[in-house]
Amino acid sequence: MKTGSQAPEFTPSVIRGESTSDLPPVIVDTVSFSFPLSLIGHDRSNDDSPRWTASDAEIVEAFQSFMDDVFGRNVFTVDEKVRGGRNFFDAGCTFDGGFIAFGGNNRVPDGYGGHRIVEQRFQLYVDGDGCCRVPDWSRVHKKISQASIDCRITRADLAYDDHAGSRDVAHAIQLYKDGAFTGRGRPPKASYVDDFDSGKGKTLYIGNRANGKILRVYEKGRQLGDVASEWVRWELELHNRDREIPLDVLVSPQEFLAGSYPAMSWVSDIIQKISTGREKLKITYKKLVASARIQYGKLLHFGALQLGKSKEEMFHEIYKPGVPERLRWAADNHLLQRELGEEACFF
């Protein structure tokens, strides 16, 4: 496999007589949201207790009302019983297409050794079957795009299904060998699971889930049990680790799948790329430094030149522990020390 830092030019090929204007459909296959708990009528922003004191019936009724409002009536039915939580939440309940988890998640690191209390949030996880039940993603997008709703997408799986097997796993492997998945810098990590023609299905993994992005190209039909199936799925799994996942992935999934790697440009004429949190952090930090230079640069120069103050004296005169509000998101995601290095200790 090629290990050079420069990817070759890659022009998507036309396969089996298809037209480059015939863009393939891309679906949202899994999505996980995070919402403030106050949206369902329980404001616990200053409460450090691990879970609600409300009855199960009241909790279920509140979540059902929320689901009906976001997805439409009769799309999902929330189970009547509240159970144990998952994903570090204290409690939860299921519905016919996923689960809701809530409670006990309002203590977060403050970025410099301690913890702070934040408003409680709940996780709404819609699995693949649940996504198939959603009649109108544009409705969902419109509902949660309202300024009053603080919604974060924490995971989104975007999938293209090639039922004819035109772009199979072998094709994806060759693209990787040709460097077509390499963007800026080194090629992404890749691993391959071979079924040795047993009929269970082969899978190529590109990227790293721990870094928030991984592409799977696998024989979906054979995975489901049809040993003769040609069905191949190209599936991108995104997490909000070091990146913000825009709500637009719900209505334009093909653009984000196309923007995931250069080799995926055949999916859409329009390409959307998600900037990572690392890039956002560095840009924001540089802007804050530039602003501080304009506001206080001359003051520091005057103190050093006219008053004879040392850099250390002036630093301690201005220094204040904490994290700037515009960098609070980075502190919550543990990005400061990892990305700014020694500069981060000044916060």
**132-147: pLDDT as tens digits:** 999 999 999 999 998 6
Q: Are 29 and 158 in contact (CB under 8 A)?
A: yes
Q: What is the mean pLDDT of residues 218-243?
A: 92
Q: Residue 151 domain-assigned?
A: yes
Same structural domain, 310 and 185? no
Identify the domain boundary among 211, 232, 267.
Answer: 267
Q: Residue 32 domain-assigned?
A: yes
pTM to 2 decimals?
A: 0.74
Same structural domain, 62 and 121? yes
Same structural domain, 129 and 226? yes
Residues in Cβ contact with 280 at an 8 Å cutoff, skipping those fewer than 6 apart:
244, 330
Identify the domain boundary among 249, 267, 285.
Answer: 267
Count of structural domains, the chain:
2
| Token representation of residue 31 | 């999505």
**Residues of 42-71 as b/e, b for ≥16 C-beta within 10 angstroms?**
bebeeeeeebbeeeeeebbbbbbebbeebb
User: Residue 78 gets which letter from DSSP?
Assistant: B
37 burial (CB, 10 Å; 0-12 / 13-18 / 19+) is buried
Instruction: Using pLDDT thresholds of 50, 70 and 90, give the confidence band for residue 278.
Output: low
**Residues of 173-202 as b/e, b for ≥16 C-beta within 10 angstroms?**
bebbeebbbbeeeebbebeeeeeeeeeebb
**What pLDDT does residue 285 have?**
78
112 or 317, which is more confident? 317
State which amino acid sits at residue 83.
Answer: R
Same structural domain, 34 and 127? yes
Q: Are 130 and 76 in contact (CB under 8 A)?
A: yes
Q: Residue 130 domain-assigned?
A: yes
Q: What is the mean pLDDT of residues 78-103?
A: 90
Compute the distance between CA of residue 92 and CA of residue 19 in angstroms, rounded to an integer.
47
**160-174: pLDDT as tens digits:** 999 999 999 999 999
Compute the distance between CA of residue 267 and CA of residue 153 in angstroms, rounded to an integer.
22
Same structural domain, 228 and 156? yes
Identify the domain boundary among 267, 289, 321.
Answer: 267
Q: In what order do the strands lie in the sheet with 232-239?
A: 83-84, 91-95, 98-102, 121-126, 26-36, 152-162, 232-239, 213-218, 203-208, 190-193
314 or 280, which is more confident? 314
Q: Residue 163 domain-assigned?
A: yes
Instruction: Using pLDDT thresholds of 50, 70 and 90, give the confidence band for residue 19.
Output: very low
226: left (phi over 0), alpha (psi -120 to 50) or beta: beta
Please say if the pLDDT value at position 79 is more than 70. Answer: yes
Same structural domain, 256 and 314? no
Instruction: Using pLDDT thresholds of 50, 70 and 90, give the confidence band for residue 288.
Output: confident
Same structural domain, 187 and 315? no
Handedness of CA 299, 304, 305, 308 (dihedral sign): positive
347 or 210, which is more confident? 210
Q: Enumerate the β-bridge partners of residue 214.
A: 207, 237
Residue 325: domain span: 277-346
Q: Which helix (H) or strand (E) holds 25?
A: none
**What pLDDT does residue 18 have?**
36
Task: Please choose, from the candidates 262, 225, 171, 180, the residue with its C-alpha nearest in 3D space to the C-alpha of residue 8.
Answer: 180
Same structural domain, 170 and 240? yes
**How many beta carbons lie within 10 A of that of residue 294, not counting itself?**
9
Q: Are 154 and 240 in contact (CB under 8 A)?
A: yes
Q: Residue 123 domain-assigned?
A: yes
Taking the CA atoms of residue 197, residue 200, residue 202 and residue 207 in that order, the dihedral angle to the nearest 10 degrees is -160
Same structural domain, 315 and 196? no
Same structural domain, 195 and 326? no
Please say if the pLDDT value at position 248 is more than 70. Answer: yes
**What pLDDT does residue 232 have?**
95
Secondary structure percentages of the chain, helix, strand, coil, to 5: 35, 20, 45
Average pLDDT, the chain: 82
**21-66: pLDDT as tens digits:** 455 689 999 999 999 888 887 654 455 554 555 688 888 999 999 9
User: Residue 74 gets which letter from DSSP?
Assistant: T
Same structural domain, 342 and 301? yes
| Token representation of residue 133 | 């039940």
Same structural domain, 175 and 312? no
